[in-house]
Amino acid sequence: MKFKDYDIEHFLTDEFFIQWVKNPDENNQHFWEKWISEHPEKRQVVQKAASVIRSIQAEQNSGISDSMYVDMFENIIHANEWNRDQTYKADQSNPWFSIFSIRKIAATFVIGFCMWISYEGMIKGIKIESETLETMVVSKANPAGKKSILLLADGTKIHLNAASKISYPEVFDDNLRSVKLEGEAYFEVAKDGRPFIVSVGDNAINVLGTSFNVKENGDGLAVALVEGKVRVNDKRGNQVLLDPNEMLVIRKDGKFYKSGFDQMEIAGWKEMYLVFNKSSFEETTSKIEEWYGVEIEVKGKISKDWVYSGQYKGETLENVLRGISHTSGLKYELTGKKVKITKP
């Protein structure tokens, strides 16, 4: 059957077609682009087939955790003859021959050596590998109420917001710069040829020299691009490219959408702008709690359509509270790290 006689079920079972959708390269790309322009009436069915191929994936798509990845590697390297499952011995076709093979003897030496090394390490109370692992990673965490600016060795500048944590290797890999983020940070990534990757939970943001804001909280993740270009990959294998002034929101349930954003609202925090833009009461109070590191207690019922808009630069908590209560008719009481808001 010729491609021109293909219907959707034929495309969906054709290896050459699937390869083009999954791994487009120069050759198949060239062919299919030509073919579609020759057969414009097939464009729709081709698109549909490609869309089905791209959207099918395993439901149970669990990624392996770093700790398990390392743990298994260690176990494999350190495995020895004695604690191995008996079933493997039964698998061998000629046990006598292989027991005496040089390879096996050599392997026993290697394994014995490993055991000795790990034994040495344990006696001295040092877990060799995990220790070296830990010394290599730098971690910075801000409590609520504190922001900080970090300058990395490659020239990248990171504004780390309050109640957020970032970790990265003391020295970056030769071909990759990778950092891990919990919470919110604004990145000004220095160009140096190596890709810069921010991992947030199961999502990864790939960058080549650019400025953007990343915010992750219980509801999901938001990546807002100020300049340059970034690519976001989620755990399901979806990939989204962002242009400047676009924001990608990935909700907790995996759904995502793109939207525009107000630069002051999203990234103003690094210039000490505390911005409320039609913020709900919950948004407003949790923002204040994070920003000033205080606890807010609410007395009385606040109406559901309560919203607040306002902008403060480097203001004291007192002034912000005064501003908000002024326009919305609430009362506040500030004692130490506690704020009591009452609806009269």
Partner 1 sequence: MGSFLIKSPLNIRNPNNHKTFMVNKPHKTKLSFVVPFTHSESTKIFEKKSDLEVWNSFNKGEEAAFNYIYRCYTPILFSVGMQITGNVDLVKDGIQNLFIDLRRKRGTLSEVVSIKSYLLKSLQRDLFRTMKKENSQSIQSIELPENAFLIEVSHETKVIQMESENEINTQLKQALNQLTPKQRQALILLYEEGMSYKEIAEVLEFNQVKTARKLVYRAIESLKQLLKN
- Span 69-88, contacts to partner 1 by CB under 8 A: 69-70, 72-73, 75-77, 79, 84-85, 87-88
For residue 342, what are the β-bridge partners?
Answer: 299, 331
Nearer to partner 1, 153 or 264 (CB): 153
Dig out the tokens for 6 from the structure: 């293909």
Residue from 33, 38, 120, 219 binding partner 1 (CB under 8 A): 120
Q: Does 110 bind partner 1 (CB under 8 A)?
A: yes
**Distance set, CA 184 to CA 18, 44, 158, 160, 215 (Å):** 39, 42, 10, 6, 4
> In angstroms, rounded to a whole number, what is the distance separating the alpha carbons of residues 284 and 277?
9
Q: How far is the CB of 238 from partner 1 (least distance, A)?
A: 5
Q: Does 176 bind partner 1 (CB under 8 A)?
A: yes
Q: Does 325 bind partner 1 (CB under 8 A)?
A: no
Angle at 250 between CA 247 and CA 252, to 5 degrees: 150
HSE of 329 in the Cβ direction (CA atoms, 13 Å)? 8
Q: Does 169 bind partner 1 (CB under 8 A)?
A: yes
Nearer to partner 1, 11 or 291 (CB): 11
Residue from 5, 15, 26, 41 binding partner 1 (CB under 8 A): 15
Nearer to partner 1, 134 or 318 (CB): 134
Map residue 290 onto helix, strand or coil.
helix
Q: Does 103 bind partner 1 (CB under 8 A)?
A: yes
Q: How far is the CB of 110 from partner 1 (least distance, A)?
A: 7
- Span 215-244, contacts to partner 1 by CB under 8 A: 231, 233, 235-240
Sign of CA dihedral 12, 13, 16, 21: positive
User: Using an 8 Å Cβ cutoff, are 298 and 285 in contact?
Assistant: yes
Nearer to partner 1, 235 or 340 (CB): 235
Q: Which helix (H) or strand (E) holds 37?
A: helix 26-38
Please spell the DSSP secondary structure of 76-145, one letter per residue.
Answer: HHH--SSSS-HHHHHH-S-HHHHHT-HHHHHHHHHHHHHHHHHHHHHHTT--HHHHHHHHHEEEEEEPTT
Residue from 18, 141, 190, 298 binding partner 1 (CB under 8 A): 18
Helix orientation angle between 15-22 and 26-38, rounded to the nearest 10 degrees:
110
- Span 259-318, contacts to partner 1 by CB under 8 A: none
Q: Does 31 bind partner 1 (CB under 8 A)?
A: no
Q: How far is the CB of 71 from partner 1 (least distance, A)?
A: 8
Nearer to partner 1, 5 or 174 (CB): 174
Q: Does 54 bind partner 1 (CB under 8 A)?
A: yes
Q: How far is the CB of 211 from partner 1 (least distance, A)?
A: 21
